[in-house]
Amino acid sequence: MEYNVGDIIKMKKPHPCGSSEWEILRTGADFRLKCTGCGHQIMIARRLVEKNTRGIRNNK
């Protein structure tokens, strides 16, 4: 699966705010993701993103 900056991904587990969709801000060995619900940003390893992604949507 190809990930691009600006894409919205749906993860298996929801964030504590209730949203399970994240915007990709940076790609590489680690990803920077921003929660679309509350705006919280996290850095997460690529393998965890690939394992926990349920769907991807282009935001262009």
- Domains contained in the chain, number: 1
Confidence (pTM): 0.89
The answer as to whether 12 is a domain residue is yes
Whole-angstrom distance, CA of residue 8 vs CA of residue 4:
9
pLDDT for residue 60 is more than 70: no
Instruction: Please write the tens of the pLDDT for every residue from 15-37.
Output: 999 999 999 999 999 999 999 99
The answer as to whether 1 is a domain residue is no
The answer as to whether 15 is a domain residue is yes
Whole-angstrom distance, CA of residue 16 vs CA of residue 1:
26
Extract the tokens encoding 9.
């991904």
Exposure string over 8-20, b if 16+ CB within 10 A, otherwise e: bbbbeeebeeebb
The answer as to whether 55 is a domain residue is no
44 lies in which domain range? 8-48
Instruction: Please write the tens of the pLDDT for every residue from 31-54.
Output: 999 999 999 999 999 999 999 999
pLDDT for residue 1 is more than 90: no
The answer as to whether 40 is a domain residue is yes
